[in-house]
Amino acid sequence: MIYTITFNPAIDCVMRVDDLAFGRINRAASQEFFFGGKGVNVSYVLSHLGRTSTAWGFIAGWTGAALEAALQEDGIPTGFIRLPAGNTRINAKLKGTVTGGDSSEETAVNAAGPVIDEASLQRFFSQLDQVRPGDFVILSGGIPKGTPKDIYARVMRELEGRDVRVVVDATQDVLMLSLPYRPFLVKPNDEELAEITGCDPLDEQALADGARMLQERGAQNVLVSRGGHGSLLLDAAGRLQFAPVIAGTLVNSVGAGDSTVAGFVEGFLRGTEAGLPETQVYDEAYKLAQACGSATAFSPGLAPAELVNELLARLES
């Protein structure tokens, strides 16, 4: 089983606004709602690829109830802990031109989200008893204010010795503190890696050094997404590869990184299930990761299966 864990899920309100300016009323040309948060997005992309995962994490209030109902309606099993107070956050994602500018940009305002109380955290830790050998646990996204920065590390400590592969998609201390527990995959983007290494901007050499540092500290596979510049993978077999971006038109970058994570996990499972040798398994995982990330970037929503397959075929040709 794959469990995605989103400590701070969100309803993403995506609005197209042209000539955006502070200090006045801006009118949106379009508005769409997506049920998200990083782990939830991973669950959605996995389901597009035909793989079942269970979405865990914390929800609150009417927004949380709406998110849970939507996932269930979309066939994604859930096991969220309901917090006693607050509401699951609504994140504003604005796309369009800013006054004075001529190119379209993406601006996000991510809300803080509800506080996770101690009793709910305890319930969550009891839930981890359900995780079995061979399972994947994907810890994705930011944590609400007041949640200890070593929370992902604590989850991993709890799962230690159970033959569980853990993926960590987090930033700064939350990521760094998880490394001694040997996460199967970490996926910082280049900006996050720059924050960690203190080296900005990162050229290819600095990116490679940063990835090696994360591996030396414990990560098994390190996948660094670089937006329009492609990505790099330092795999568990010690091979470093840079991949250029797949050609296409950017429609939406929200969730592209999460789609990359989903693709890597699904590709790893497909390769393993097919009995491929280790290095080929990572090659398959990396290709599907790229195809899924780009399929989301080129679509209004998350990685449609048809486009994923089309891009994968392009990478394989």
Ligand X SMILES: O=P(O)(O)OC[C@@]1(O)O[C@H](CO)[C@@H](O)[C@@H]1O
Chain residues in the site for ligand X (CB under 6 A): 8, 10, 12, 36-38, 41, 91, 108, 110, 141-142, 254-255, 257-258
Give the active site residues: 258
**Do 182 and 152 form a contact (C-beta atoms < 8 A)?**
no
- The residue (of 10 and 60) whose beta carbon lies closer to ligand X is 10
- The minimum distance between CB 5 and ligand X, in angstroms, equals 12
Six token digits for residue 48: 């597009």
**Strands 2-6 and 240-243, bridge-based pairing:** unpaired
- The residue (of 17 and 175) whose beta carbon lies closer to ligand X is 175
**Do 71 and 55 form a contact (C-beta atoms < 8 A)?**
yes
- The minimum distance between CB 107 and ligand X, in angstroms, equals 12
Rounded to an integer, what distance in angstroms lies between the CA atom of residue 255 and that of residue 101?
25
- The minimum distance between CB 21 and ligand X, in angstroms, equals 23
Q: What percentage of the chain's residues is helix, strand, coil (to nearest 5)?
A: 40, 25, 35
**Do 158 and 22 form a contact (C-beta atoms < 8 A)?**
no
Question: What ranges make up the beta strands (E) of 17-158?
Answer: 30-36, 53-59, 78-82, 89-96, 105-109, 136-140
- The minimum distance between CB 41 and ligand X, in angstroms, equals 5
Query: How many other C-beta atoms are found inside a 10 Å radius of the C-beta of residue 109?
Result: 10
Residue sitting closest to ligand X (CB): 36
CA 206, 209, 211, 214 dihedral sign is: negative
176: number of CA atoms within 13 Å, CB side? 10
- The minimum distance between CB 129 and ligand X, in angstroms, equals 26
- The minimum distance between CB 142 and ligand X, in angstroms, equals 3
Rounded to an integer, what distance in angstroms lies between the CA atom of residue 90 and that of residue 131?
30
3-class DSSP state for residue 143? coil
CA 143, 219, 35, 108 dihedral sign is: positive
Q: Which residues contact 112 (CB under 8 A, 6 or more apart)?
A: 89, 144, 145
CA 189 to chain centre: 10
- The minimum distance between CB 70 and ligand X, in angstroms, equals 13
Nearest to 168 by CA among 283, 39, 256: 39
44: number of CA atoms within 13 Å, CB side? 27
